Amino acid sequence: MKKRTELIEDFLSGLDTEIDVLNCVDCEDVNSFEDVYEAIDGNQGFDIDIIYYYNAMKYLTENDTSLYDSLQLASEMGYEVGDLDSEILASLLASREVRNDFNDLQEEIDTFFNDLES
């Protein structure tokens, strides 16, 4: 029979996410979605870097043509207009999207940990 840590590793490695969860999480220290989320956040696992102008512009064209969302996000995070470029805007937006996508897994993760405890 597998140990608790191995069961958690297997589960987390099978999650449908762009995040390398196992690289961010110590499976011995997590017992809930919040624990997993905080571990990923603390290890900058939600931080997506889109580099090179071409890649950034392509991402923004596909996901925020008006730049409304990315500029709003940059403003909320305290960026000044002079500090912004396409790479920063694309990275901020991609990071938010990855974070939101991971939040969509909360019920699945909570169910796993509840089942594991019973």
Q: What is the pLDDT of residue 53?
A: 96
- Dihedral sign for Cα atoms in the order 56, 62, 65, 68: negative
- For every residue of 11-80, DSSP letters joined together read HHHTS--SS-HHHH--TTS--SHHHHHHHHHHTTTT-----SHHHHHHHHHHH-TT-HHHHHHHHHTT--
* pLDDT at residue 118 is higher than 90: no
Q: Collect all residues with Cβ–Cβ distance below 8 Å to 22 and sequence separation of at least 6.
A: 9, 12, 13
**Residue appearing with tokens 């608790």:** 4
Q: Indicate the pTM of the whole model.
A: 0.90
User: What is the per-residue pLDDT across 41-100, written as a single tens digit (0 to 9) for each?
Assistant: 999 999 999 999 999 999 999 999 999 999 999 999 999 999 999 999 999 999 999 999
| Per-residue DSSP letter, 3 | -
User: What is the per-residue pLDDT across 3-56, written as a single tens digit (0 to 9) for each?
Assistant: 999 999 999 999 999 999 999 999 999 999 999 999 999 999 999 999 999 999
19: left (phi over 0), alpha (psi -120 to 50) or beta: beta
In angstroms, rounded to a whole number, what is the distance separating the alpha carbons of residues 60 and 12?
30
* pLDDT at residue 1 is higher than 70: no
